[in-house]
Amino acid sequence: MVEVLDVFSSAYSFQEEDIRGKTVVMIDVLRASSTMATALYNGAKGVIPVGDMDDASKISHNLDSMSFLLSGEKDGIKIDGYDLGNSPLEHTPESVKDKTIILNTTNGTKAIKRSGLAKEIIIGSFLNLTSIIDHLKQLDEEVVLVCAGWRGRLSIEDLLCAGNIIYEVYSGQLPKDAKDGARVAFGLFEKFGDDIENIIKSSNYAVRLEGIVSDDDISYCCQRSIMQVLPVLKEGIITDLNGKEK
Amino acid sequence: MVEVLDVFSSAYSFQEEDIRGKTVVMIDVLRASSTMATALYNGAKGVIPVGDMDDASKISHNLDSMSFLLSGEKDGIKIDGYDLGNSPLEHTPESVKDKTIILNTTNGTKAIKRSGLAKEIIIGSFLNLTSIIDHLKQLDEEVVLVCAGWRGRLSIEDLLCAGNIIYEVYSGQLPKDAKDGARVAFGLFEKFGDDIENIIKSSNYAVRLEGIVSDDDISYCCQRSIMQVLPVLKEGIITDLNGKEK
């Protein structure tokens, strides 16, 4: 049976050694995880997460120019010269079908890099909750949920999503020996689970990027289980392990 | 009026620049903050927090050997050659009266050092909640609550204590523009505030140090507002700003 060992509230809140050989679910609700899930759901061949513009351009030089799109933001705004921003709503079937997306995203990439010793890294968001939960329930592994957070701080939307995953994996009953991080995420979800969109609309992220990131974007990312997609990172590229069952 | 800007869940969860010029409450419920408060309440002249044995011995060499005590633990056990461990219960009036305590404590000291740009650093615990809250309510300042956590992770007991402080400062009504960290701590306290001792007895700390740190120690640290003491750090030494009104 799967065991959710802990929830880490940011990319800086754990030692890399702590996740060696474990399955990691990386959660960056606003917006990297949601964008990755959406791009794959809408037909992208894969998503390559990168941490800065240098990495993005290095990778893009090795690809056929018709085969990829550069997506990314700096402080919520599309990077100059990029094809798309970091909005999931821009990653429509028309724009992403059969393309590889090079996604430039700071906190999500940091969380992925710091999870380098993991056995497997899955990308989690509210959008693909059911796929994540169904997958975890089938595992007989130790799982750690890694919230991306922001510059080392916790982000309430990531913790809520982690809490939702634990809640469903354990059918609403937190194990008695749960770790502090898991207990906090679970408790938070029990408290605010009915009001996720409102809580997230007053989150640090929403306030910080008010007028830059649209309300529609945030509302979109708060929808639960609207797509069956299981984004898994292998050799630097994230693909949909669920295949094309849509 | 005082404004509680945020709660940081560990010493690694903020940028030092973020607290420049602000008042910081440093919270390390198990056990540094509780031990500091208790030592001062029981008549210690001051507490000097240090991060390792080297620092402790350097400082002690400059002091008259009768004037100080070395307190500290490694993995919950009293350090060889030290006068006391890190248990508040060892810091009795008989042992600490008129002494300066050199307290060797990893996470608490890290949190204090990372708060170096603060205007003022106050030490908060459940034991001296009322003193903290009364003091904060009188301020017309921006306040940040810094939880010590453990090796970068959140500790549920520190977050609960932070939540309790915010709850009282704002009379149970979290401001609408509260930051994520404050909202998480506040929500956690609303959820678990009636059951603090039980929650803390199943915390990472309690489980990790079971059989080493006594149940009595943990129960002691869960008591709310049993002492009027306002430990404030000035020039490397923590003294009681409340004076001797006991």
> Residue B229's pLDDT is what?
98
Which residues of chain B neighbour A179 with C-beta distances below 8 Å?
204
Query: Per the structure block, which two tokens stand in for A29?
Result: 């609700």
> What one-letter code names the amino acid at A214?
S
| CA gap B31, B3 in Å, rounded | 27
Listing DSSP states for A93-132 in one string gives: HHHHTTPEEEEE-HHHHHHHHHTTT-SEEEEE-STTHHHH
- What residues does A53 pair with on adjacent strands? none
CA gap A105, B118 in Å, rounded:
31
Best mutation site among A18, A154, A157 for testing chain B: the one with the most B CBs within 10 Å? A154
Task: Let me know: does A59 contact A102? Beta carbons within 8 Å.
Answer: yes
A63, A207, B34 from B179: Cα distances, Å: 42, 9, 26
Name the band, by pLDDT with cuts 50, 70 and 90, for residue B52.
confident
Q: ∠ at Cα B219 (B217, B223), nearest 5°?
A: 115
Average pLDDT of span B195-206: 95
What pLDDT was estimated at residue A245? 45
Task: Let me know: does B230 contact B125? Beta carbons within 8 Å.
Answer: no
Tokens of A200: 């997230």
Distance CA B71, CA B76 (A): 12
* Mean of per-residue pLDDT scores for chain B: 94
Mutate which of A184, A188, A199, A203 to disrupt the B interface (most B C-beta within 10 Å)? A184
Distance between CA A202 and CA A208 in Å, rounded? 10
**B188 in A contact zone (CB under 8 Å):** yes
Which residue in chain A has the smallest CA separation from B153?
Answer: A13
Interstrand relation of B77-78 and B237-240 (parallel, antiparallel or unpaired): unpaired
Q: Decide if A146 contacts A111 (C-beta within 8 A).
A: yes
Q: B112 is written with which tokens?
A: 């204090």
Which residue has tokens 């609207």?
A226
Ranked by mean pLDDT, which of A76-80, B11-15, B222-226 comes out on top?
A: B222-226
Q: Which amino acid is at B68?
A: F
Mean pLDDT per block of 10 residues along chain A (246 residues) reads 91 93 97 97 97 90 92 85 94 97 90 93 98 95 96 97 97 94 97 96 93 93 98 96 64
Pick the residue of B184, B196, B198, B207 with the most A CBs within 10 A to test the interface with A by mutation: B184
Question: Each residue of B17-47: pLDDT tens digit?
Answer: 999 999 999 999 999 999 999 999 999 999 9
> Is A176 at the interface with chain B, CB within 8 A?
yes
Greatest CA separation for chain B: 53
Predicted-assembly ipTM surpassing the 0.90 threshold? yes
Is the pLDDT confidence value at B119 over 90?
A: yes
Phi, psi of A82 (to 5 degrees): -80, 160
Contact B152 A12 (CB under 8 A): yes
Is the minimum CB–CB distance between A100 and chain B shorter than 8 Å?
Answer: no
Work out the minimum CA distance from B62 to partner chain A, whole angstroms.
36
Is some CB atom of chain B closer than 8 A to the CB atom of A183? Answer: yes
Contact A9 B154 (CB under 8 A): yes
| Residue A177 at interface with chain B, using a CB cutoff of 8 Å | yes
Lowest average pLDDT, out of B31-45, B122-136, B191-205, B230-244, goes to: B230-244
Query: Is 90 exceeded by the pLDDT of residue B70?
Result: yes
- With an 8 Å Cβ cutoff, is A61 touching chain B? no
Do the chains contact at A188 and B190, CB–CB below 8 Å? no
Distance CA A188, CA B223 (A): 24
How many C-alpha atoms does A166 have within 13 Å on its Cβ side?
35
Q: Is B15 at the interface with chain A, CB within 8 A?
A: yes
- pLDDT at res. A246: 43
Pairing of strands A100-104, A120-124: unpaired
Question: For residue B177, what is the nearest residue in chain A, using CA coordinates?
Answer: A202
